[in-house]
Amino acid sequence: MQPATTRESTCCGQGHAGQAVPGGSGPSAGTLERPRYFPRQLITPDDLTLEADYFRDRMRRHNVHLHGWGVVCGALVCVVPVAEQPQAGGAVGNGAQTVTEPWLVRVQPGYVLGPYGDEIVIDAVCEVSLRNGSAGEPADPRCGEVYVNEPEGPLYIAVRYRQGQVRPVPAQPAGCGCSDVSCEYSRFRDGFEFGVLDHCPGSHRPDGEARQGEEGNPFCPPCPDSAWVVLAEVTVDADGTVTRIDNCSCRRIVSSTRDDWRRCGSSDADRPPQGGAETAKATEGSAHQAAKGTRPAGDGGGRAATTAKRRASGRTRVRGASEEST
């Protein structure tokens, strides 16, 4: 059995409770801190943990205030079928009646954002007991389940974020003993747990007066007082038979932009410059000449004009020399 731990940060990713200094001095609970490393610094486990928690709390705050919280996709609750029993004189398949497990429902895989900004990934199908909220844990064969009372009225299947410690490794003992070998868990693993509520929390009910309208400045909503995210409302009979599952009445849906995309309608990357290929070659040639420090042939003050003048003066000198010699 892996030990479970509660989350270390405070409400809605607003920082660590240990950062608040009694008496009002120092950083508040809503101020995040990260370590500043410098040469010859003695690094402690608290420094490395603080750095990891800094980015986790920033992501929690981002999720809550920019995306909200609730079910993003999946996480549907359904019954657990046992077998198909045919009616009297009928065959299995036509007119057959599906028998379901009492006091048991099944949660499909899904992705949920918790009220405090935590990501809840249900990566496999889980079966949840309506009596104690346990999911997927094998019962002790020597003992049967004991229940004080049977739940009455509609029940609400909920999920919340849960963090566990895994991968124990040998660690140096704190004392001076040589024979004692202690172990420490080397990893935190993100997880979740299911619960069964007897009411739909007020945070799941839309309140028209409390919500900000389309006009005016938006306000920061208060942090929910519960970490549970309700998935469905379940109605059962006295014998535990599930008669109705409502996946909508008490479920918060988070709008996702994952499927908002468009197709490119043009081929800008394959389009040549304006004027065609000849203009592009001429422009490239001019740039090449400019890079060498010369001017184009069409420039009146360029090399072509200078060469013509030299040739003209050369012919004059040659002609004069011939006249003198003759």
- Token code pair at residue 255: 């709008």
171-180, 245-254, 264-273, 309-318: the lowest-pLDDT one: 309-318
**What pLDDT score was predicted for residue 239?**
87
pLDDT tens track for 212-234:
456 788 888 888 889 999 999 99
Q: Is 125 helix (H, G, I), strand (E, B) or coil?
A: coil
**What pLDDT score was predicted for residue 240?**
87
SS3 content of the chain, % helix, strand, coil (to 5): 25, 25, 50
pTM above 0.85, yes or no: no
Q: What is the average pLDDT across 263-275?
A: 68
Give me the phi and psi of 290, to 5 degrees please: -65, -35
Residue with tokens 């603080």: 50
Q: According to DSSP H, which parts of 63-158 are helical?
A: none
